[in-house]
Structure 1
């Protein structure tokens, strides 16, 4: 049996994989979809072919004969997308790690390399498979050379195979004639112009009859149809040039040695490391190797003796730095924090060779371990854990100022990630590659060790990025403030919530009947497909947008129709009310604890801007725009003898914008305590301050807040229901009124493009990778992110500082009043009656002095017997 070689067109397959798969990124933010798709295609080919030899060819992108002679055509290829370009060196490194032969040669394109090597190997009696997404390579097909063209559809790879006879059957021409076929019909994807007015059908007819463009040209007067004859006569030079562009050089001087292409075991330890780094977990099963051994594992010890545990804990208290983890019962997957399952034990590391898993078993009780862990946290200079707040449900940290939360440090350095696991941190900060399937005590030891060993590299990177102050003075104290808030919870009047849900149910039923009556039949209002048919087919409403699955009934479509069609307004109201009922009236009741309070979670590491988010349930998303939505706040009540105080920053993001931009007009307006929206309307619309109408003020308000979010003329036109031209003039006049803002926003975007990130006043960095995208919409989004993030992020930092200060003073004074909620720019305090005035003074002082800006920070403060009244 003949030996076999597989030749892969590197850039072609990488490109096909890139556009055939959705975007993927690893924990480092590196795009990986093209590499992942390439490897899947390659493995599929290797599994099917079982070749003795393998080579991957790449373009060097140096000028070739064809580039130089026909630069106007080959040179007009679109530049490679940045997300794809960065994956080219990665796939080369991965292939090298797998021991796979790579060939690239200046002056030759990859298809010339493939053509020459395939011809040489075919002559030597070898079977050759050429893998490419470029149909130009069909000209290489012979009885021995097979061209394989992969297609990636919805993550699955299908492959078309072509020997010479298959090319003839599919295209009615021989592989050699295929070159002439391309010369006539052209190929836009490969910048081969072809002959104008001659398409594939006509070109095929001409070549099957005359076999070459020269022969066709000799019989040009006989060609049918006449327009093809006319086109070939007028553009003969283009036909000749197109054939030269399409023809692959199969006799190039290629430096190729067959022995270097010999295929060995591609599943090496080095390759395993790459696959782990790229997070291709479902490909790791192909390896019959373990992860590169980490010598630190030799120091892992599982402790079951009370005496030994006591000795270790005593030693830990004398250490400068300790890393710890609390894990659940070993019957469960380790380590876990959620829920109230029994504690399985602790992981503890206080030296490079002092790494232990101490189980709560027999004479070593969980209570003992948690008590000792508290003492460790109060004795060491630095006590490190992942997600300390979650662990605090099990034990009280003795010395908060000594704590180091690895999760938060990792978040600050890369706020775009979805999670911050110990595996990721071990790989990124310590260069450790961890296996998925290891014993439970090994996982525990690894997490404790990572918590210990990553402190210094993380701290150093925080210093280098000038975020150490942000971490130490804002984010770490906030951990304990948020923990207190979660423990405090907020009281819910269950009966009032039930009644609210019932009232919503009655209103929803009424709306259903009205909608059915208007439609003339009953249907599923929640079904976009059925709703589209009713509105646009049966009722004949104008303005429908047809999609592949039917009419769009998205909110933006219905919002435009609502003023003219009462039934659409009813449908929008129906949607709002059903959302209120399911999410709040019914949803909130599931979170009420035995003490009658909701103890939700506040998260620090979810948003890229630094804003705190709320989950289980989301109490920051309580509706405020519609009265029926606001009424839900009535069910939030203080404990007997207490009252709610709600304090809300007034226009904090606009005030931050005034400070950051240094615009004198805006700064003076705030210093003089003028109505900022009215004064903006006066200056933008050129009317005296006293003659500004309510409509003009509302429009100016939309511009003021829109500018903060980088709004476009199109977005503003949609918000105000005006023309795009009018909106553009509003924005232009706004920037003329406040020129400092325009300069600041332009400079911010320019800085982000140069550095790759933006920065808040307190040093928080927000990467903006979208600015380097090849996609215009992505870049535009990146510009808006760059404009808004420093403003929104600074506002988020300011309220965090205020929260820390308020909570600290309430605790220092041993007050019974407590901070219970934060909703972006708003704080809710459950104040003990006798402490009311003192708490209001603390709130005012801490919130208005949280930052020193060029304009004063002001708050609106109200009290009430429920949240609705206080707001």
Structure 2
């Protein structure tokens, strides 16, 4: 691995000095004399800068501070930072000495009027990144996360946090490119920049992941339901200014302050000025630091960095001491790796012999596309021994590219080894590579390990990408994909990458995968429960590969017909709305809606927004629709517009032309509960509560001679609750085969089972499922449309009749608080880091999650056990039936007519028999000409 890459280290001096001031005791130049100059922040700053210089090797270095006076943001928004307390006098008096000593320590110091330190950092970081320089920003300020890219990383040394591409997304839920949009939505209380009222991180992340950007969200603001949707629409005029306030400038004019930019020579890390430092330390009473400079000579700089005096109490991690990490292996020096590039058959044969003789081989493919169903192989790498790997380039195509071995012949020679289940293989996200080989007609067997899934089982809340794993567990960094291929419109395909660079990149991936496995696999071996879950995930990866490969046939003409009908109805609704209103208007404008509803048509004001405006959100429309036709038209218009744009217009476009089928991608390593998520398309969000929504499922069809079958578990989470809680009454209801909601109603309302009314059963169903999800009496009251006191009484009555459930909830929350995780029935660990350290609503939410997660997670484990078992039986009996979808607790099949009766009988039996709980599992199945008819 190359080590000649330069590094630019940028320090957020303003962040540092505040931390130093608050972390240090009240030190004085003359100890004991409160009238002498304060020096605590100076001393803390010296320690922090020395430690950073020691920890991070940098070729270029700048420490950036805020300058005095207003910035352009104050002119843009006079209330910007208006609520901030003035800088303490004792800190203000230390600013100039801090600037002085930082310079003496070898750093370039900048403070540019009219902009903030973040803007200067952003400008310098982008200059460095554009030149291929590795940029490290040291700061605790989350705002700087918006700068992160493949060349720019933010480190928070005080909290041992690293915000790289994966780190930002893991911490905030969105990638760095969406951080400004995220901040604009949630606002910044510290800087007094409002966001959208009632919108917190969770909602902001949900919106941005769904719509892709703030601009796209704004364009669809009319679709957002509820109070938050109304708040969003009421904030549309503010959001552009809020985003501008929060956006870090990247084009500050630094020429008056730094000569020679964008060349970096003028900001090279300098030598420490030892004589001047000694005088400075003497002046401010840092006797220990003076002693560290005694005998100054060639090694004095190292002494200063290595021996900071510990004369004051440490109150922030890392301020005086180096953080210790005994678990992370040391990074392997680049000189110890041996990477081969295979151009000849002789070298190929030698490596093939090594593959044949190895106990385990790490394997990686380089391809033409991230779409696993269409990607073709460009090259293949292997590693059988840590530090050694080989790359076989196959289809690199650029001017003067060296001759390569023919791909078809190489794959033909590798096929026996690849398809041999006795030859154990390892990968990172093996399902993708399995698809890629299948595109070339090779069905790889013997994949026994996946480092992505190992991480998912062991550390579910952390990023599972290879770069993150190598950094976290090996202390190794590697080549970034965009370093090779570029990004955006200038990105090249991998087959255009120089073979020497491609070989290093691919070999490194296989090598690191093998290294990560050697760290994670022993941890799984040491825990029988986690090893079981890992083996379940490996088996599920194989089954999901089969499901994805099968795909599901789409009736494109039917979807086109539905889109046309929806479009006609949407236009009709607009016309009807205009007629009722007596004028055309923007159906997505809260302002215009308010004027028509309340001023023109005299509808009652149901509620107001936080700013005092008359609300027209989803809840208000639903309430008004009970008595007025216009709100009902608007609700239908919104629902159909979203259905058309999201599903009927797009679903057929996602079908693979050569198969006519949709091949969704199932992501295993995402949800903390173990549930799968699907995308391209997202099968789990197809709306089924309206007739129009259910019609979308009619377009999921079977070919001639086959039908669709849908099998799912009945009341699975309630059955799991009965098993986990061991409540006698709940166990009895399921064991006796009773209607559990009717049984609950009989218990709660104190009536005979035969006397339960349909309304009482409905109440009991809401109570049963509500308590699983931690519903409060207030939530239950709102859901049932009753008084809160009555709802509380129902909950009390429920717990009286099912005391085991209450005990389970209390004990589970206590366990989670002590261990910060809960477990499924099968041993999957569901991490809950906020349950012990959080407060208020976040802690309550974590407690509700602690109660529900074991049930959701166990349900996820059960459906994975089921799909694996069913696939094994389909293979063993050589059935023609194909599993084509897994959606929540449902398995969907394409079944030849000759096998329908077998499927009706055997699939529910297999699903019910995958585990023995204290209550019987029950799976039900339906068959029809399409997915909807199978329900």
**TM-score, normalised relative to structure 1:** 0.68
Q: In the superposition, relative to structure 1, how do residues 469 and 56 fare at CA in structure 2: closer, same or farther (>3 Å)?
A: closer
1:460 aligns with 2:519: no
Partner Cα distance (2:857, 2:930) in 1:
30
Per-residue deviation, residues 61-111 of structure 1 (Å, max 9, x unmatched): 8999xxxxxxxxxxxxxxxxxxxxxxxx9998896243599xxxxxxxxxx
Q: Using a 3 Å threshold, how does the CA distance of structure 1 residues 725 and 375 change in structure 2: closer, same or farther?
A: farther
CA distance in 1, matches of 2:592, 2:379: 55
Using the alignment, how far apart are the partners of 1:792 and 1:327 within structure 2?
36
1:372/1:256 CA distance change after superposition, 3 Å: same
RMSD over aligned Cα atoms: 4.0
CA distance in 1, matches of 2:708, 2:567: 29
Residue of 552, 559, 564 corresponding to 1:497: 559
CA deviation string 1:407-460 (max 9, x = no partner)? 11111222234x522111112222213354473322211110122222232112
Measured after TM superposition, the shift of residue 687 of structure 1 is: 2.7
Q: Which residue of 734, 741, 746 maps to 2:805?
A: 741
Output the CA distance in 2 between the equivalents of 1:318 and 1:561.
74
Q: Which segment drifts farther, 516-525 or 576-585?
A: 516-525
CA distance in 2, matches of 1:730, 1:155: 57
- For the structure 1 residues 427 and 679, does the alpha-carbon distance in structure 2 shift closer, same or farther, using more than 3 Å as the test? same
Which of 766, 770, 776 is the equivalent residue of 2:830? 766
1:798 to 859, 862, 867: 862
Equivalent pair of 1:317/1:379 in contact (CA under 8 Å) = no
- Is the CA contact (8 Å cut-off) linking 2:822 and 2:850 kept in structure 1? yes
Match of 1:578 among 641, 644, 647: 641
Report the Cα distance in structure 2 between the residues aligned to 1:753 and 1:57, rounded to whole angstroms: 34
603-612 vs 254-263, which moves further? 254-263
Deviations 1:588-641 (A, max 9, x none): 121123332212122211211111111111112222211221122222221111
Distance 1:295 1:143 in 2: 43
Quote the offset at 1:481 in angstroms: 1.1
1:797 is displaced (CA, Å) by 0.6
SS at match of 1:851: coil
For residues 17-57 of structure 1, the C-alpha deviation after alignment (integer angstroms, 9 at most, x for no partner) is xxxxxxxxxxxxxxxxxxxxx975317999xxxxxxx9945
SS of equivalent residue, structure 2 residue 562: helix
- Rounded to whole Å, the distance in 2 between the matches of 1:94 and 1:830 is 65
Match status 1:429 vs 2:429:
no
Q: 1:320 to 1:510 in 2, by over 3 A?
A: same
291-300 or 609-618, larger mean C-alpha shift: 291-300
List aligned pairs for 1:315-334, cutoff 5 A. 315-328=354-367
Q: Mapping of 1:153-168 within 5 angstroms? A: 156=118
Partner of 1:680 in structure 2? Answer: 744
Find 2:381's aligned residue among 347, 353, 356: 347
User: Residue 612 of structure 1 corresponds to which residue in structure 2?
Assistant: 676
- Which residue of the partner structure matches residue 484 of structure 1? 546
Give me the whole-angstrom Cα distance separating, in 2, the residues matched to 1:789 and 1:59: 39
Per the TM alignment, residue 858 of structure 1 is displaced from its structure 2 partner at its CA by: 0.9
- Contact 1:802/1:847 (8 A) holds in 2: yes
* Match 1:310 to one of 349, 356, 370: 349
TM-score, normalization by structure 2: 0.64
Aligned partner of 2:433 among 354, 375, 391: 391
Q: Superposition pairs for residues 131-146 of structure 1, below 5 Å?
A: 135=86, 137-138=88-89
Check 1:456–1:141 CA distance in 2 against 1; reply closer, same or farther (3 A cut). closer
Quote the residue 2:508 is aligned against. Answer: 446
**Structure 1 residues 157 and 645, CA, compared in 2 at 3 Å: closer, same or farther?**
same
User: Secondary structure at 1:392's aligned position in 2?
Assistant: helix
Q: Deviations over 1:711-753 (max 9, x none)?
A: 1222222221222222222222111111111111111111111
Change (3 A) 1:443 1:673: same
| Structure 1 contact 713–724 (Cα < 8 Å) conserved | yes
Please report how far the alpha carbon of residue 292 of structure 1 lies from its aligned counterpart in structure 2 after TM superposition. 7.0
Secondary structure of residue in 2 paired with 1:404? strand
Give the whole-Å Cα distance in 1 for the aligned partners of 2:374 and 2:503: 20
Determine the structure 2 residue equivalent to 1:693.
Answer: 757
Residues 59 and 569 (structure 1 numbering): CA distance in 2 closer, same or farther, change over 3 Å? Answer: same
CA contact (8 A) 1:545 1:551 kept: yes
Q: Is contact 1:318-1:380 (8 Å) kept? A: no
The 8 Å contact of residues 712 and 923 in structure 2, kept in 1 or not, is answered as yes
Distance change >3 Å, CA 142–CA 343, structure 1 → 2:
closer
In the alignment, which residue of structure 1 is the partner of 2:452? 407
* Mapped contact 1:152–1:158 kept (Cα < 8 A): no
User: For residues 645 and 143 of structure 1, what CA distance do their matches in structure 2 show?
Assistant: 74
SS of the residue corresponding to residue 678 of structure 1 reads: helix
Once residues 514 and 618 of structure 2 are traced to their aligned partners in structure 1, the CA distance between those partners, rounded to angstroms, is: 50
Answer whether contact 2:533 2:827 (CA < 8 A) is retained: no
Q: Count matched residues.
A: 656
CA 448–603 in structure 1, closer or farther in 2 if over 3 Å, else same: same
Q: 1:426 to 1:580 in 2, by over 3 A?
A: same
Per-residue Cα deviation, 1:176-228 (whole angstroms, up to 9, x for no partner): xxxxxxxxxxxxx9xxxxxxxxxxxxxxxxxxxxxxxxxxxxxxxxxxxxxxx
Q: Distance in 1 between matches of 2:437 and 2:727?
A: 50
Q: Secondary structure at the match of 1:682?
A: helix
1:636 aligns with 2:700: yes
Tell me whether 1:98 sits opposite 2:132 in the alignment. Answer: no
Instruction: Return the match for 1:366 from 407, 418, 426.
Output: 407
Report the equivalent of 1:867. 931
Change (3 A) 1:414 1:521: farther
Q: Cα gap change, 1:399/1:442 in structure 2, threshold over 3 Å: closer, same or farther? A: closer
Are 2:707 and 1:621 equivalent residues in the alignment?
no
Q: CA deviation at 1:779?
A: 0.8
**Equivalent runs, 1:535-684 vs 2, <5 Å:** 535=597, 539=601, 541-547=604-610, 553-594=616-657, 595-684=659-748
Contact residue 322 and residue 382 of structure 1 kept, 8 A:
yes
The offset of 1:538, in angstroms, is 5.3
Matched, 1:520 2:582: yes
1:416 is aligned to: 461
The offset of 1:158, in angstroms, is 10
| Contact residue 434 and residue 444 of structure 2 kept, 8 A | no
Tell me how far 1:795 sits from its aligned partner.
0.5
Residue aligned with 2:544, SS: helix
Structure 1 contact 370–395 (Cα < 8 Å) conserved:
no
Q: Which has the larger radius of gyration?
A: 1
Please name the residue that 2:908 is paired with. Answer: 844
Distance 1:298 1:316 in 2: 18
Give distance in 2, aligned partners of 1:550 and 1:440: 59
Could you tell me how far 1:373 is from its partner in structure 2?
4.5
What is the CA distance between 1:480 and its match in structure 2? 1.5
In structure 1, C-alpha distance between the alignment counterparts of 2:801 and 2:931, rounded to whole Å: 39
1:668 CA drift (Å): 0.2
Structure 1 residues 690 and 343: CA distance shift in structure 2, 3 A? same
Distance in 2 between residues matched to 1:774 and 1:793, nearest whole Å: 23
The answer on 1:718 being equivalent to 2:782 is yes
Distance 1:589 1:392 in 2: 25
Cα distance between partner residues in 2 of 1:376 and 1:453: 22
Q: How far 1:340 sits from its partner (Å)?
A: 3.1
Report deviation, 1:533.
Answer: 5.2
CA separation of 1:700 and 1:546: change in aligned 2, threshold 3 A: same
Q: Post-superposition shift, 1:402?
A: 4.4
2:711, 2:621 → 1: CA distance? Answer: 35
